[in-house]
Amino acid sequence: MYTHRLAVLALMGTLAACSTMENPVDYVIYSEEPLVQNVRDGMTKEDVLTIAGPPSSEVQNTVEPGTCNNYILTEEGKQQPYYVNFGSDGLVKGKGFMTCEDHQNNKRRL
């Protein structure tokens, strides 16, 4: 009985961690997407919008000054969130395979 509960708790912890960590497989699946392939740190928000179009949503950063754009990448029916983070100067400060909210939560934990 004790082993069963321990296994369930370990599984729940693993699943919770997966929602806020980037999956390396996503780099392979979505590597040809213009947003993934062409957006670089230091680009302006206007450059990103030209490459990727309008985001699904834009949120105000809560950990550091600036904003963050949420995008949804779709490949073969599978959807994947992708964020592009901008500093207060409007330049790309980071990007990756999670939502802006998950990225902000990860920064809070550091």
Domains of the chain: 22-109 (3.30.1450.10)
Return the pLDDT at 53.
96
More confident residue, 98 or 28: 98
Q: How far is Cα 92 from Cα 66, in angstroms, rounded to an integer?
A: 10
Top pLDDT among 71 and 76 is at 71
Answer with the residue of higher pLDDT: 22 or 68.
68
Place of tokens 């369930």: 8
> Which amino acid makes up residue 8?
V
Task: Judge whether residue 47 has pLDDT over 90.
Answer: yes
pTM for the full predicted model: 0.77
**How much is the CA Rg of the chain, to the nearest whole Å?**
16
Extended beta strands in the chain, E state: 57-60, 67-75, 78-86, 92-96
CB contact set of 101 (below 8 Å; sequence gap of 6+): 59
When comparing pLDDT for 102 and 22, which is higher? 102
